[in-house]
Structure 1
Amino acid sequence: MLRRIGAAAGEMMGSAPGMDFDFAVPRGEPALVPADSVSWRVFKNPVTLFIGGVAAVILELAEPGVRDGVWQHSSFRTDALTRLRRTGLAAMMSVYGPRSRAEAMIAGVVRAHERVTGVTSEGAPYRANDSVLLDWVQATASFGFIRAYHAYAQPLSYRERDSALAEGAVVARLYGATGAPASEAKMAALFAKMDARLVPSPIIHEFLAIMRAVPALPRVARPFQRMLLRASVSLLPDALIDRLGLEAWRLRRFERQLVRAVARVANRVPLLDAPPAKASERLGLPGDWLWRGSQI
């Protein structure tokens, strides 16, 4: 069952409708992030990517400009599964995709964001390519993915977490997030700076309700899907969980143990059709080399 859950989560890393892509070509073309990086290890785990991605979205929806930019200009309410797969593919492309294709994809996203403007429900104007919002979105993604892997799959040293953040700088700059934190210290400083802007909203609860219902995992594993959502919330600072009214979403002790068990299985079982394996083959490496020696 643990392997089935990991494999199902792995499907979120592959392709989305209309966005099929073979990460094994063109042969020899490097990615934006080096293959020997911490990021390549972190992003191979589909369970912690799911957890970290949800945590990142919660943090984004807590900031009014990002919240309404996402909610007013996306198809999440009507087609959440496709949106999740497209977002997952974008993350895979940023880390594992050939540099030329990754740069083209990011440039397309930046162009699309130029059209995203509006007024928040609080009456403040926003635009998606605002530098403050771009930095926050990049920071929340890095926070979610790195912290989820560290908490549930395999502990990362402070130096490794620092390295993972620094590795993401090239991707962040392409998105226009030139002030995105490239170290643990800068991440902490940004969270402190943004704290006063993070507010509760019914949209956060609507998002979690959608994520609880979307068929991301097989029916038999659907209770575990809800547990993964609680694992996502539990990554957030305690004071922020309380402020956002998410106390009921905290993980229980036995649930934390189960989430860790599944994440650690996913950390050592190769998904040879997934982007991390195909990208490894593109660079002349064995498809399973990222999983070799992973601790459990």
Structure 2
Amino acid sequence: MTPDILAPLAPLRRALAKSLRDRVAGADAEERARTIWGSAGPRWFTPEDPIWRVHADASMFVGGVRALLLQSLHPLAMAGVAGHSGFRGDPWGRLERTSRFLATTTFGIIAHAEAEIAKVTGVHRAVVGRADDGRPYSANDPHLLEWVHIAEVDSFLCTYQQFGGTALTAAEADRYVEQSAIVAGKLGVRNPPTTVAQLHARMAAYRPELRATAACRDAAKFLLLDPPLPVASRPGYGLLAAGAIATLPGWARRELRLPPPMVLWDAPGRLLGRVGAGVVRWAMSDPSVANRREPGTAA
């Protein structure tokens, strides 16, 4: 379609872009964008790097939902979320903090990235307790940190390859996992995977530990069926959630009591996810936000 045909949609595009940016980046988005993009100094990554391409794409909106569902399947990780994150009371605050971390560590200068990592590590020190089965947990436990990391990397890579721009080559996908390992290692993950094959092997190694607890299923219901969104925004969010569900592995869907892998479910789900990511990509390429990247807001 030509720009003239799309012109009547410009107000809708701007409104959608602002709504998405406010949800993801928060009230200080402008100031944070100036800090990330205006600061001089060396950066870990460049626009040519796979991690930049993946984290700047609209498919991150689908990947974020998928990652949260996967992460919740570790009972100790879920216990930490349920006991300390306030995900029900302040879900957008949690999303904003995650967005800030990803944006700063991916696009920002090294000094700011390392400061953000130190801040997160400090917050994690207070996230300790016991799960319902009596086992202790700590958010700085390297084993739990690794699960959170690999669930994110697997989700972001999977949804980018399904719903992103130009898919990564096999070598680029390995490079993405390797680049993600830089941040993970500084957070406290020991020997994070650096290739796709290693990533899949680590995911499989965690499988015996993973199951859906009552808190996990409650979180999934909140995330998928009762998100804290206005009624008008829920259909669009549903597109992203459908894409996330369609790309989950079968065992995870069975644990979460979601539709099993079947062409009947997955083909429409992937199509909906592609449409949802496309709408986000269109909105976030609006000139009012296109030069202020956050995860998922790429240019």
TM bin (shorter chain): 0.7 to 0.9
For 1:189 and 1:180, the matched residues in 2 are separated by 11
Query: Match of 2:242, as an amino acid?
Result: R
Q: 1:12 and 1:30, CA in 2 relative to 1: closer, same or farther beyond 3 A? A: farther
Structure 2 residue aligned with 1:52? 63
SS in 2 for 1:126: strand
Deviations 1:201-246 (A, max 9, x none): 2223322333343345x64331221232232122221122113322
SS in 2 for 1:213: coil
For 2:28 and 2:222, the matched residues in 1 are separated by 20
Q: 1:204 and 1:271, CA in 2 relative to 1: closer, same or farther beyond 3 A? A: farther
1:214 pairs with 224, 227, 232, which one?
Answer: 227
For 1:279 and 1:49, the matched residues in 2 are separated by 12
Structure 2 residue aligned with 1:284? none
Deviations 1:135-158 (A, max 9, x none): 111111111111111111233222
Q: 1:44 and 1:6, CA in 2 relative to 1: closer, same or farther beyond 3 A? A: farther
Q: 1:53 and 1:262, CA in 2 relative to 1: closer, same or farther beyond 3 A? A: closer
1:198 pairs with 184, 203, 210, which one?
Answer: 210
Deviations 1:161-215 (A, max 9, x none): 1111111121111101132221101111101100011101222332233334334
2:268 pairs with 243, 250, 254, which one?
Answer: 254
Q: 1:226 and 1:266, CA in 2 relative to 1: closer, same or farther beyond 3 A? A: closer
**TM-score when scaled to structure 1?**
0.82
1:150 pairs with 154, 161, 183, which one?
Answer: 161
Relative to its length, the structure with more helix (as a share) is: 2
Matches within 5 A, 1:101-250: 101-154=112-165, 155-211=167-223, 212-215=225-228, 219-247=231-259
Deviations 1:42-77 (A, max 9, x none): 11123x212111211212111111110111111112
Q: Please report how far the alpha carbon of residue 10 of structure 1 lies from its aligned counterpart in structure 2 after TM superposition.
A: 4.2
SS in 2 for 1:75: coil
Matches within 5 A, 1:13-92: 13-15=24-26, 20-21=31-32, 22=34, 23-26=36-39, 28-46=40-58, 48-92=59-103
Contact 1:10 1:271 in 2 (8 A): no
Q: Which runs of 5+ in 1 are unaligned?
A: 281-287, 292-296
Q: Please report how far the alpha carbon of residue 248 of structure 1 lies from its aligned counterpart in structure 2 after TM superposition.
A: 7.4
Query: Match of 1:263, as an amino acid?
Result: A
For 2:286 and 2:158, the matched residues in 1 are separated by 22
Matches within 5 A, 1:95-106: 95-106=106-117
Q: 1:15 and 1:234, CA in 2 relative to 1: closer, same or farther beyond 3 A? A: same
Q: 1:215 and 1:84, CA in 2 relative to 1: closer, same or farther beyond 3 A? A: same
Q: Which runs of 5+ in 2 are unaligned?
A: 1-8
Q: Which moved more, 1:111-120 or 1:61-70?
A: 111-120
**TM-score when scaled to structure 2?**
0.81
Q: Please report how far the alpha carbon of residue 83 of structure 1 lies from its aligned counterpart in structure 2 after TM superposition.
A: 1.5
For 1:273 and 1:180, the matched residues in 2 are separated by 37
Query: Match of 1:124, as an amino acid?
Result: R
Query: Match of 2:256, as an amino acid?
Result: L
Percent identity of paired positions between Structure 1 and Structure 2:
26
2:285 pairs with 267, 270, 285, which one?
Answer: 270
Aligned-CA RMSD value: 3.0
For 1:265 and 1:230, the matched residues in 2 are separated by 14
For 2:17 and 2:213, the matched residues in 1 are separated by 31
Contact 2:71 2:151 in 1 (8 A): yes
Contact 2:74 2:211 in 1 (8 A): yes
Contact 1:32 1:171 in 2 (8 A): no
Paired residues in the alignment total 279
Contact 2:105 2:183 in 1 (8 A): yes
